[in-house]
Amino acid sequence: MSKTIAEVMVESLKNAGVKRVYGLPGDSLNGFTDALRRDGTIEWVHVRNEEVAAFAAGADAHLTGSLAVCAASCGPGNLHLINGLFDCHRSRVPVLAIAAHIPSSEIGSNYFQETHPQNLFKECSDYCEMVGVPEQMPRVLEIAMRTAINMSGVAVIVLPGDVLLHNAPDDHSVLPMKMAKPLIRPNDEELREAAAILNAGKKVTILGGAGCKNSHAELIAAADALKSPIVHALRGKEYITYDNPFDVGLTGLIGFSSGYHAMEDCDVLLMLGTDFPYTQFFPKHAKVIQIDIRGNQIGRRTKVDLGLIGSIKDTLSALLPLLETKTDRTHLDAKVRDYKKVREGLEELARADENKTPIHPQYVARVVDQLAAEDAIFTCDVGTPTVWAARYLTMNGSRRLLGSFSHGSMACAVPQAIGAQTAFPGRQVVTLSGDGGLAMMLGDLLTLRQLKLPVKMVVFNNGALAFVELEMKAAGIVTYATDLDNPSFAALANSIGIHGVRVDQPNDLESAVRTAFATPGPALIEVMVNRLELSMPPHISLDQMKGFSLYMARSVFSGRGDEIVELAKTNVIQRILS
């Protein structure tokens, strides 16, 4: 018998090394899910929301480096994929989305659940095509998979449900494929030009991002030759900070003053594999060299004196022999000392504070960091959990850190943890979840229970969208519409068969985390943390100072002066006493 289009798709996915498909079934997707069932070798990871499927696939692809797949039924089903696919697209991870469509004969008739997914998904993908007739398969699938794998991006295939059930005109599946690993570096003349600028520089600083993956040895060697402090963007943290004597921390809105000054004071900035977006944190008078595998990213954020296209590993390997080893460590040593002071200050804030309540969120993050496994995978929600993850989670070359660091979507931590735990069932996966983020995708706690995924969720419950409040304060706006009337998340977890515990006292935190980490299956630790804890940026602009002063004045005049008093107690008085 001839194979159906769906059967050829499943064979092709197997040949590409796909082990799992994340999704939610529906009638237009029945041909595909039934082919998966009958084949039996690709796992169907059943989530409760298609957005979660896309986030989970993105986490899987990020951690494994291999093609990950998500699937959804027509209309509203595949529309739910969009936010998660935007995150995958902006994070540059290889994901294939299978978007089922309404019956092909009904397209264009305003049929039930009709949308035009081939148009809707174009902005969050590198390839998006509809298969209108069986003859287009498996060629379209092969193009999609090769695009996702070799461009490390998102590809979307739109298939009407009836096409999935058609007999394939050619039952040959797509042949096995693997990611190409070419050597990519600038030419010799460009490398000599870069070396000349770096050798002439008196104070060179490196800014590294996610493009430094698999380039740790070359990065450290370059910093040693240039006597350069290394600042990292957030997505570069897991690849850069471990075993790194040149580390001076993060810069940006949630960064450290040491990272900010290391860039501000340099005369040459070497940007390596980063699309760091905040223009106000770049030096104003330094020469800038930017190296990136994607030439379209060069010069996006700041003026660039020399832009080079190449992988960081290959480019640094070729550049290192051209560098003159510097002997003056003044710039490096000063910035490393600054970073040490910053870290001492951060650690001082991360304490039990004589069992005072509410609990410092910094203390929660530090305890999680100390008790988590040496190869733990962390996911963090956008907002203050990202701040505490950036500042307190220690990377060691084995640990991994995921978040929506480019797209900035709420509610990513648990969905990404589902993908991480499914891909690595033997590793510890820990979320740093916000109360707002957890609530937004609350239904997929049921996914953890149903799939028996032992994800450990640490929930920072401050009863507010705390980072939004911070942004309002900096802009001089009285906080509004940010309150969250939360249930007990621990009680909710217990009610659905997940181990849940609520922590109100700092002295109870460590034992609660230890117990949860040792509990088989999923577990949730709800920690009541201080809503008014400020996560200060490394550099306070005049506009921010004016805005914060305006916020305080407006709060007093609107009858909320008590909030200002509590804010001072939390962020000023405690620091004086410490």
> Does pLDDT of 167 surpass 70?
yes
> Does pLDDT of 576 surpass 90?
no
Model-wide pTM > 0.75: yes
Average pLDDT over residues 531-560: 53
55, 246, 460, 467: which is the annotated catalytic residue? 467
Q: 271: which strand partners?
A: 207, 290
> Does pLDDT of 96 surpass 60?
yes
Average pLDDT over residues 70-93: 98
The rounded distance, in Å, linking the Cα atoms of 372 and 132 is 49
382, 414, 458, 478: which is the annotated catalytic residue? 382
Amino acid 255: pLDDT: 87
Query: C-alpha distances in angstroms, 167 versus 12, 105, 135, 170, 358?
Result: 15, 17, 10, 9, 63
On whether the CB atoms of residues 564 and 552 are closer than 8 A, the answer is yes
Amino acid, res. 477: I
Which of 559, 519, 362 is closest to 430 using CA atoms? Answer: 519
Furthest C-alpha separation in the chain: 79
User: Does a cis peptide bond (omega within 30 degrees of 0) precede residue 103?
Assistant: no
DSSP state of 476: T
For the chain, counts of helices (H) and of strands (E): 25, 18
11, 50, 129, 264: which is the annotated catalytic residue? 50
Which of 302, 296, 365 is closest to 506 using CA atoms? Answer: 365
> What is the distance in angstroms between the CA of the first residue and the CA of the last residue of the chain?
77
Q: 501: which strand partners?
A: 525
Contacts of residue 189, Cβ cutoff 8 Å, sequence gap at least 6: none
Which pLDDT band, with edges at 50, 70 and 90, does 478 fall under?
confident
Amino acid 536: pLDDT: 56
Average pLDDT over residues 430-453: 98
Which of 535, 546, 569 is closest to 252 using CA atoms? Answer: 535
The rounded distance, in Å, linking the Cα atoms of 15 and 174 is 7
The rounded distance, in Å, linking the Cα atoms of 327 and 271 is 22
Determine which of 208-212, 224-228, 436-440, 548-552 has the lowest per-residue pLDDT on average: 548-552
* Active site annotation includes 450: no
* Active site annotation includes 121: no
DSSP state of 570: I
Amino acid 559: pLDDT: 47
Task: Please give the full DSSP string across 359-425, using - where no structure is assigned.
Answer: BPHHHHHHHHHHHS-TT-EEEE-TTHHHHHHHHHPPP-SS-EEEE-TTT--SS-HHHHHHHHHHH-T
Classify residue 188 by burial, with Cβ atoms within 10 Å: 0-12, 13-18, 19+.
exposed
Which of 187, 183, 201 is closest to 323 using CA atoms? Answer: 201
Contacts of 136-143 with C-beta under 8 Å, sequence gap 24+, read 137/5, 137/8, 137/9, 137/168, 138/8, 138/9, 138/12, 138/168, 138/170, 138/172, 138/173, 138/174, 141/8, 141/9, 141/12, 141/174, 142/12, 142/174, 142/177
Structure tokens at 232: 């990292």
* Active site annotation includes 113: yes
The rounded distance, in Å, linking the Cα atoms of 535 and 388 is 9
As a whole-number percent, the residues of the chain with pLDDT over 90 amount to 85
pLDDT in tens, 366-412: 999 999 999 999 999 999 999 999 999 999 999 999 999 999 999 99
The rounded distance, in Å, linking the Cα atoms of 153 and 414 is 22
* Active site annotation includes 118: no
Structure tokens at 33: 């899910």
> Does pLDDT of 117 surpass 70?
yes
Amino acid 554: pLDDT: 46
Which of 120, 121, 113 is closest to 95 using CA atoms? Answer: 121
Buried b (16+ CB within 10 A) or exposed e, 105-133: eeeeeeeebbbebbebbeebbbbbbbbbe
The rounded distance, in Å, linking the Cα atoms of 281 and 490 is 40
Amino acid 202: pLDDT: 98
Determine which of 210-219, 277-286, 532-541 has the lowest per-residue pLDDT on average: 532-541
Q: 350: which strand partners?
A: none
Query: Whats the size of the chain, residue-wise?
Result: 578
Which pLDDT band, with edges at 50, 70 and 90, does 340 fall under?
very high
Average pLDDT over residues 91-106: 98
* Active site annotation includes 347: no
Structure tokens at 15: 């040949």
Amino acid 548: pLDDT: 40
Average pLDDT over residues 31-45: 98
